[in-house]
Amino acid sequence: MVSVTTLNNTEILKITVRSTDPMMSAEIANETALVFSEYVSGLMRIDNISVIDVAQASNNHVEPRAAMNIAIAMVLGIMLGVFIAFLKEYLDTRIKTPEEVTTFADYPVLAMIPYNNSLDQGGKKK
């Protein structure tokens, strides 16, 4: 709920409080800063410790928005799927139609083996 970090290798401390109540979060941060400054000034006999910014309550949510993240992931997933499908089709060099045979070989197609939908993969009738 409470985290304390230093800012860019300085002697400035940043106190962060996360809570569902913004007023309580600001109060906890301000009280922590006050108690810390009094404790350190008494412990180290330093009198120039001060609070730079006082915490203020904010009603803005700082948590990740799950609905927005899911929507972005869906759009990116669809775009990636379409891209992979196009890439796979573009890189496929197999000859699939009789017209492609005549284009590449410059010979006419004399016969074709038709595809039979009534056979399963083992060659047996369904």
> Model confidence over 98-119: pLDDT tens digits?
888 888 888 888 888 887 777 6
Residue boundaries of the structural domains of the chain: 1-62, 66-105
pTM (2 d.p.): 0.44
57-60-66 Cα angle (round to 5): 140
> Model confidence over 83-92: pLDDT tens digits?
999 999 999 9
Evaluate if residue 124 carries a pLDDT over 80.
no
First to last CA, the chain: 65
